[in-house]
């Protein structure tokens, strides 16, 4: 069965109660930001290409109050974080440390103007951690929206700058050289829409995804992915080096013909990496058009091609993700249009486009098959949801 997704109001209530228990007063400010699922366009954002994510109904909530002490006191209720779940740090002495979950908070605080005072805060979240659906971006963006209310100048800051600050927080404090996709969609997501984001111009085009006959199924393989390891930075570096060999500013500007012409100058692995990026950028653009035309068959085919390319050329999938995609595709005659791994890879989730009327049957099938190979998945039926916003307490 699909998981019940915790209501945002319930999360807010839980966070406020925990705040009162810990700090003895009520929080005065709050903000929320969603996780994301990327429908197609993987490992293209840092190559200035297209991505096509949507905001999830799973969100991270931050509630709290500014203080004058200079000391920040923060608790997280999110499950799966490293301990301790309560920590303190000085607002004038922000540096990476442990617990790791707090680095995202500190990293964003370090990006705010010097006017942000110390604060007490509680975090609650329904975004699965390490599930490849951007729990980190949700925390960064929720923290940003929370802190900007203390800053006083936020109305003047263009939204793209806010997004870039959250991305920098992740680079500097989590050591993860991510692209712009996750923070962008978490900040700007729109209910009932996916977003075709051009990562070169940093401009997005909203595409309606609100056909009642079609749903987005997010399946967590429950294989935890950790992107701060060496694989993600290595892929980024390979792409940068290849762009130099192809003599283009980024792989967005490279063509298949250029790649073929330079084949001898690239090692076999790098050649495949580039082939993925060039083909994935093209697929993403086509997929957005297909969705605009309610052409789910084409969209589904492109999802499958994307998965194959990520598995074989970019090599960021894993056995469990491949199994989930394979099982989903065995239900094509039962309403599955397409399925693929989503996010950075090496674990995390798959995304499947499926007819609404068949979704429970499809879940039941994948669940049984995945169990038969010794694994346990978690399923979420996800309507495209809204981006970050302030919470009025
Ligand atoms: C991770 C990164 F954070 C994104 O920027 C993106 O590169 C994605 O992996 C792969 O598409 O989520």
**Three-state secondary structure call for residue 73:** strand
Mean pLDDT (the chain, rounded): 96
pLDDT at 155: 64
Q: Ligand 1, closest atom to CA 43?
A: 11
Query: For residues 55 and 89, what is the distance between their CA atoms, to the nearest angstrom?
Result: 31
Q: Ligand 1, closest atom to CA 227?
A: 1
Asked whether residue 79 carries a pLDDT value surpassing 90, the answer given is: no
pLDDT in tens, 248-263: 999 999 999 999 999 9
CATH of 8-206+385-391 among 3.10.28.10, 3.30.230.10, 3.30.70.890, 1.10.10.10: 3.30.230.10
Is the Cβ atom of 45 under 6 angstroms away from ligand 1? yes
User: What's the gap in Å between 117 CA and the centre of ligand 1?
Assistant: 31
Are residues 225 and 317 in contact, defined by beta-carbon separation less than 8 angstroms?
no
User: What's the gap in Å between 14 CA and the centre of ligand 1?
Assistant: 30
Residue range 209-381 in CATH 3.30.70.890: yes
Query: For residues 175 and 168, what is the distance between their CA atoms, to the nearest angstrom?
Result: 10
Tokens at 162, concatenated: 């806010």
- ipTM rounded to 2 decimals: 0.99
Which residue's CA is the nearest one to ligand 1's atom 5?
A: 179
Which residue's CA is the nearest one to ligand 1's atom 9?
A: 344
User: What's the gap in Å between 225 CA and the centre of ligand 1?
Assistant: 12
Hey, which of 45, 170, 345 would you mutate to test ligand 1's pocket, going by the most ligand atoms within 8 Å of its Cβ? 45
Q: Where are the domains of the chain?
A: 8-206+385-391, 209-381
| Percent above pLDDT 90 for the chain | 93
pLDDT at 226: 67
User: What's the gap in Å between 114 CA and the centre of ligand 1?
Assistant: 29
pLDDT at 153: 66
Active site residues: 182
Residue 315: which pLDDT band, with cuts at 50, 70 and 90? very high
Is the Cβ atom of 130 under 6 angstroms away from ligand 1? no
pLDDT at 113: 81
User: What's the gap in Å between 336 CA and the centre of ligand 1?
Assistant: 25
Query: For residues 94 and 14, what is the distance between their CA atoms, to the nearest angstrom?
Result: 28
Asked whether residue 211 carries a pLDDT value surpassing 90, the answer given is: yes
Asked whether residue 228 carries a pLDDT value surpassing 70, the answer given is: no
Query: For residues 18 and 77, what is the distance between their CA atoms, to the nearest angstrom?
Result: 8
Asked whether residue 227 carries a pLDDT value surpassing 70, the answer given is: no
Task: Using alpha carbons only, give the angle 64, 67, 68 rounded to the nearest 5 degrees.
Answer: 170
Is the Cβ atom of 184 under 6 angstroms away from ligand 1? no
Query: For residues 193 and 204, what is the distance between their CA atoms, to the nearest angstrom?
Result: 11
């Amino acid at each position: 069965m699909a998981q019940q997704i915790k209501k945002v109001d319930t999360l807010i209530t839980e966070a406020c109660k925990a705040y009162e228990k810990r700090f003895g007063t009520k929080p005065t400010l709050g903000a929320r930001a969603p996780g994301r699922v990327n429908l197609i366009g993987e490992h293209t954002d840092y190559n200035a290409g297209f991505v096509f994510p949507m905001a999830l109904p799973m969100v991270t909530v931050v509630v709290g109050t500014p203080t004058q002490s200079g000391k920040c006191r923060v608790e997280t209720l999110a499950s799966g974080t490293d301990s301790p779940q309560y920590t303190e740090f000085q607002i004038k002495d922000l540096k990476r440390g442990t617990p790791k979950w707090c680095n995202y908070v500190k990293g964003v605080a370090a990006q705010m103007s010097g006017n942000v005072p110390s604060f007490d805060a509680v975090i609650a979240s329904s975004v699965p951690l390490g599930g490849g659906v951007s729990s980190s971006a949700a925390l960064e963006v929720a923290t940003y929206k929370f802190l900007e209310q203390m800053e006083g100048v936020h109305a003047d800051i263009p939204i793209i700058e806010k997004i870039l600050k959250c991305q920098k927080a992740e680079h500097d404090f989590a050591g993860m050289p991510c692209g712009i996709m996750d923070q962008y969609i978490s900040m700007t997501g729109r209910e009932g829409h996916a977003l075709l984001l051009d990562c070169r111009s940093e401009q997005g085009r909203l595409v309606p995804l609100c056909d009642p006959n079609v749903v987005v199924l997010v399946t967590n393989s429950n294989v935890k992915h950790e992107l701060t390891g060496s694989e993600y930075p290595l892929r980024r570096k390979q792409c940068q080096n290849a762009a130099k060999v192809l003599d283009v500013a980024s792989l967005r500007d490279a063509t298949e013909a250029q790649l073929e012409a330079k084949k001898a100058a690239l090692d076999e692995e790098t050649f495949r990496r580039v082939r993925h990026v060039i083909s994935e950028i093209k697929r993403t653009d086509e997929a957005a058009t297909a969705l605009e035309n309610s052409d789910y068959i084409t969209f589904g085919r492109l999802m499958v091609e994307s998965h194959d390319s990520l598995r074989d050329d970019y090599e960021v999938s894993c056995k469990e993700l491949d199994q989930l995609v394979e099982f989903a595709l065995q239900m094509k005659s039962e309403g599955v249009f397409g399925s693929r791994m989503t996010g950075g890879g090496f674990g995390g989730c798959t995304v499947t486009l499926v007819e609404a009327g068949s979704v429970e049957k499809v879940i039941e099938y994948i669940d049984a098959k995945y169990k038969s190979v010794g694994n346990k998945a978690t399923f979420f039926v996800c309507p495209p949801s809204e981006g970050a916003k302030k919470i009025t307490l």
